[in-house]
Amino acid sequence: MNIAIVGASGAVGQELLKILAERQFPVTNLRLFGSARSAGTTYHFCGQEYVVEELQHGDLFQGVDIAFVSAGGSVSKEYAEDITRYGAIMIDNSSAFRMDEQVPLVVPELNSEDIAQATQEGGKRIIANPNCTTIIMAVCLKAIEELSHIKRVHVSSYQSASGAGASAMAELEEQYRQAVNGEEVKHQKFAYQLAYNLIPQIDVFGDDDYTKEELKMYHETRKIMHSDIAVSATCVRVPSLRAHSEALWIETAEPLTPEQVREALSKAEGVQVMDNPVNLGKPIAYSAASNSEQSERPIAANFPYPMPLYLSGTDDVYVGRIRRDLANENGITLWCVGDQIRKGAALNAVQIAEKILSQYSTLNPKAQF
């Protein structure tokens, strides 16, 4: 399979390289693209060295089967025609095409059948990766929707610095150092100091005083789930490095018990239930990973509830604090955590590619295998 990664030097691009290797994705040829500043940088993948090429207009993507694009919405829009011209499928991690009616918005555990819209004759050959907070929430909602239709969700997200990129993570670490040493705390990536603080704003405000991040959760969830579900979100930046957390209040058409929801989630693809309050204060336990890239994985049964510090770098969405909503007889409340660089971005993109590979024998009739 001939693969290209646009934005190879960014946090998601680097994670894509790790995940492709971990999951032994069949990469025959690999090309890395980036800005003029990144061009010439070398990275290792499966024992070979690859040099980042400068992204330019033209025929660079001739022969490419799948292009993972994670360089921002403006780059996606500008280069989409170049990327897909010769038949490559573009899996885009930006918001550029998410609400385009001709572009499927895919979380493989929920709506992998929508991929066909992009790959069929006359399709745009673009598949959009949803927003990270939407993905983490939607993976949890599917199992509940299968029990009873979800009417509405209130969600508060607690989003780590990594959601703003690798430079934001570095800034947060530097802010902690500055604060501890009594130095002036400087900020650039965030509107205010994030260390020892919470910022109840992610992205810009709209006319209705919701931020773009919050509106993404509303619109994207409806598109992915093909549902009239109503989502009201408050998105908060928190001073943790990696992995996002979300508190969900879910109202269903029929009342559900916590036991029903817990059982459904325990069987859901891509979900692990961590709902064991009796383990409060006990040592966190891990097991050996199934691949050489990750040294250990959390043992869900040993956690009282999911916490981002301990779940960074993992693949699943972890769910706990499952309980009846005291303010709504048809309500269920829960807490979930997911690594937004992996499942919220790079892993979801690779899972889309795996679905494509399993469903279609010939991806790019113009490519040379």
Nearest CA to 254 among 307, 304, 196, 328? 328
CA 55 remoteness from chain centre: 24
Mean pLDDT, to the nearest integer, of 146-155? 98
Same domain, 76 and 118: yes
Percentage of the residues of the chain whose pLDDT score is greater than 90? 87
366 lies in some domain: no
Distances (CA, A) of 315 to 19, 43, 167, 304: 10, 23, 23, 19
212 lies in some domain: yes
pLDDT at residue 364 in the model: 55
Give the CATH number, domain containing residue 15: 3.40.50.720
Mean pLDDT, to the nearest integer, of 18-27? 96
- Asked whether the predicted pLDDT for residue 47 surpasses 80, the reply is yes
pTM of the model: 0.92
Same domain, 294 and 164: yes
Percentage of the residues of the chain whose pLDDT score is greater than 70? 94
| Contacts with 160 (C-beta within 8 Å, 6 or more apart), sequence order | 237, 238, 240, 241, 242, 243, 244, 308, 340
281 lies in some domain: yes
163-167, 192-196, 223-227, 361-365: range with lowest mean pLDDT:
361-365
User: Environment class of residue 263 by beta-carbon count within 10 Å: exposed (0-12), middle (13-18) or buried (19+)?
Assistant: middle
Same domain, 142 and 106: no
pLDDT at residue 296 in the model: 64
* Residue 369: how many other CB atoms lie within 10 Å: 11
Question: How many domains is the chain built from?
Answer: 2
Same domain, 311 and 175: yes
| Contacts with 153 (C-beta within 8 Å, 6 or more apart), sequence order | 137, 141, 221, 229, 230, 231, 232, 248, 249, 250, 251
Identify the band that residue 368 occupies on the pLDDT scale cut at 50, 70 and 90: very low
367 lies in some domain: no
- Asked whether the predicted pLDDT for residue 362 surpasses 60, the reply is no
369 lies in some domain: no
Same domain, 328 and 227: yes
Same domain, 205 and 274: yes
pLDDT at residue 293 in the model: 46
pLDDT at residue 289 in the model: 56
Distances (CA, A) of 357 to 22, 65, 89, 119, 353: 17, 10, 11, 11, 6
316 lies in some domain: yes
Angle at 338 between CA 336 and CA 339, to 5 degrees: 160
- Torsion (CA) 74, 77, 83, 86 in degrees, nearest 10: -170
Give the CATH number, domain containing residue 232: 3.30.360.10
| Contacts with 227 (C-beta within 8 Å, 6 or more apart), sequence order | 145, 149, 150, 221
Same domain, 222 and 120: no
pLDDT at residue 302 in the model: 79
Same domain, 232 and 275: yes
Same domain, 101 and 139: no
- 38, 52 in Cβ contact below 8 A? yes
* CA-based radius of gyration for the chain: 21
139 lies in some domain: yes
Identify the band that residue 33 occupies on the pLDDT scale cut at 50, 70 and 90: very high
Same domain, 96 and 153: no
- Asked whether the predicted pLDDT for residue 367 surpasses 60, the reply is no
pLDDT in tens, 275-327: 988 878 777 777 765 544 454 677 777 789 999 999 999 999 999 999 999 99
Same domain, 351 and 310: no
Catalytic positions? 132, 244
Question: Which range of residues forms the domain containing residue 110?
Answer: 2-128+347-359
Phi and psi angles of residue 133, each rounded to the nearest 5 degrees, phi first: -65, -35
The chain-wide mean pLDDT, for the chain, equals 93
8-12, 98-102, 231-235: range with lowest mean pLDDT:
8-12
Same domain, 117 and 240: no
365 lies in some domain: no
